[in-house]
């Protein structure tokens, strides 16, 4: 459901900065269904990749073999990402707060001696700062949906109220958060608001998995169930070797 909901959010012709895992699944699903002109850009420097199967990593040879062009990693960041040439960037999160700030660095208040040291930033801060929009895909629980992140790895909407604009950040930040329970979008203040629940999920279940007083859209909807075509394409992607 997470992969399909993320795929549906992508449009043909967009330039999408893709990560491995659910973002790659979603982007390749979109390209095989309703968005054949979607341009997939991977951090390893492959532009316009069209893999026939899901890549195992950003270094998977199939990405270079099927790409329109292969450039260096510094060029991906300096020429494509930082100048704002990427429409959509996908990010995951260990912690996400109500303003879409992301932590993938440490769990705990003491940076030098954290409870858990996470993988870190990679290119995520630049994706969060410079892509036109950021989509976050994360499994939801009170451990991941927290009132305040322990460390801001990737800036979302700060504390809201136009803080991105005050800092001169080019991109709109997180405009969509997709979890295994529902779909969230920022309201006019930048705070995440529940706009859809997945089929069979209740608002109460979402509240129980959220570490803050959750806002719920007055026009709350239900995510349409996967179509047979979407499921079949997804299965084919996952089965391909």
Closest by CA to 130, choosing from 14, 17, 213, 220, is 17
CA–CA dist 135, 158 (Å, integer) = 16
Phi, psi of 84 (to 5 degrees): 85, 30
Q: How far apart are the first and last CA of the chain?
A: 23
Torsion angle (degrees, nearest 10) of CA 4, 9, 15, 16: -50
Cite the active site residues.
43
Tokens of 219: 């026009």
Nearest to 48 by CA among 78, 18, 10: 18
Asked if residue 155 lies in contact with residue 173, where contact means CB atoms within 8 angstroms, the answer is yes
Give the burial class of 146: count Cβ atoms within 10 A of its Cβ; 0-12 exposed, 13-18 middle, 19 or more buried. buried
| Cβ atoms of residues 47 and 69 within 8 Å | yes
Coil, strand or helix at 48: coil
**C-alpha separations of 177 from 39, 51, 88, 208 in Å:** 21, 26, 13, 17
């Amino acid at each position: 459901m997470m992969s399909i909901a993320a795929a549906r959010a992508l449009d043909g012709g967009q330039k999408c900065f893709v990560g491995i895992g659910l973002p790659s699944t979603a982007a390749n699903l979109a390209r095989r269904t309703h968005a054949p002109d979607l341009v997939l850009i991977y951090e390893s420097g492959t532009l316009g990749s069209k893999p026939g199967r899901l890549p195992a990593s950003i270094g998977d040879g199939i990405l270079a073999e099927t790409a329109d062009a292969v450039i260096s990693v510094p060029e991906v960041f300096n020429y494509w990402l930082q100048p704002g040439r990427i429409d959509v960037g996908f990010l995951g999160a260990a912690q996400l707060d109500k303003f879409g700030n992301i932590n993938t660095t440490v769990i705990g208040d003491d940076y030098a001696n954290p409870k858990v040291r996470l993988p870190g930033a990679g290119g995520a801060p630049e994706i969060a700062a410079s892509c036109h929009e950021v989509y976050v895909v994360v499994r939801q629980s009170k451990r991941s949906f927290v009132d305040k992140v322990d460390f801001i790895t990737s800036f979302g909407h700060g504390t809201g109220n136009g803080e991105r604009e005050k800092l001169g950040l080019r991109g709109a930040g997180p405009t969509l958060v997709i979890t295994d329970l529902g779909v969230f979008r920022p309201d006019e203040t930048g705070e995440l608001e529940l706009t859809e629940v997945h089929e069979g999920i209740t608002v109460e279940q979402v509240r129980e998995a959220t570490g803050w007083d959750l806002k719920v859209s007055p026009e709350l909807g239900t995510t349409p169930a996967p179509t047979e075509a979407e499921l079949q394409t997804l299965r084919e992607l996952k089965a391909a070797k």
